[in-house]
Chains A and B, each alone.
Chain A
């Protein structure tokens, strides 16, 4: 067993595996939902739906970067995601009129159980610890 412990681990091993699962689930669900909303009722809340689509794209980039072992790209994607959820969250509280329909990141991801807020924090902590190791 010690050989397995010493073997170089990829970014998607260990806790990274759980992170990838959540990123893929969010990329697919946010992406499918945003695609559906853009196709059927884009005019109702263009900003919300566009931001949801952007969020889905960033989730996908983060998942692929972790799976393929690209730590810099992963950290950049997760960093943009953290800034995005904080900025959009604050904006949605300050200007609720701009968000007639919820977005993935509006109100700091409250519509998704605040997972969109917790996920980038967990991702940044994980990636920085892996880089230090």
Chain B
């Protein structure tokens, strides 16, 4: 994993989540600007995936299948949450998408652990 890219993706996930939770508190409906926010996060996660495909196969560890299954899940979660949340007309529509940012951050933390202890070893 490229460390700065990992930290940037974490920052984007948490910033998006904080922004969306503020909009939850303000009872905003899901709008175009929110989809732009999700798209930025997904772009960072896809960059992570591309970097992973380039780097991980050349590493010695054995956790590669785990790494990619977690990473693909991390890409899918905010996309699925956007569909699921955008149907709702209450404040919890955007609240649901906000929660997906926290889920992504947790998944990324786990992905980084797998990289450190099961892939980038020796």
Decide: A13 near B90, CB < 8 A? Known: A18-B96, A21-B96: yes
* A17, B103: Cβ atoms closer than 8 Å: no
**Pairwise interchain contact B103-A14, C-beta atoms closer than 8 A:** no
User: Which residues on the B side are within 8 Å of A14 (C-beta)?
Assistant: 88, 90-92
Using C-beta atoms within 8 Å of the partner chain, give the interface range for chain B: 10 to 19
Residue of A whose beta carbon sits closest to that of B69: A32
- In the assembled complex, the Cα of A15 lies from the Cα of B93 at a distance in Å of 8
In chain B, positions 67-101 with a C-beta closer than 8 Å to chain A are 69, 73, 77, 81, 84-85, 88-93, 95-96, 99-100
A113 and B85 CA atoms in complex are apart in Å by 23
Contacts of A17 in B (CB 8 A): 84-85, 88, 90, 92-93, 95-96
Residues of A within 8 A of B96 (CB): 17-18, 21
A20 at the interface (CB under 8 A from B): yes
Contacts of A32 on B, CB cut-off 8 Å?
Answer: 69
A36 neighbours in B (Cβ, 8 Å): 66
* Contact present for B85 and A4 (CB under 8 Å): no
Q: Do A29 and B73 form a contact, CB below 8 Å, given A4-B89, A21-B99, A113-B106?
A: yes
A21 with B81, Cβ < 8 A, contacts A14-B88, A14-B92 known: yes
Give residues in B with beta carbon < 8 Å to A.
Answer: 66, 69, 73, 77, 81, 84-85, 88-93, 95-96, 99-100, 103, 106
List 24 A–B pairs whose Cβ atoms lie within 8 Å, in order of A's numbering: A4-B89, A13-B92, A14-B90, A14-B92, A15-B90, A15-B92, A15-B95, A16-B92, A17-B85, A17-B90, A17-B92, A17-B95, A17-B96, A18-B92, A18-B96, A21-B81, A21-B84, A21-B96, A21-B99, A21-B103, A22-B103, A25-B103, A32-B69, A113-B106
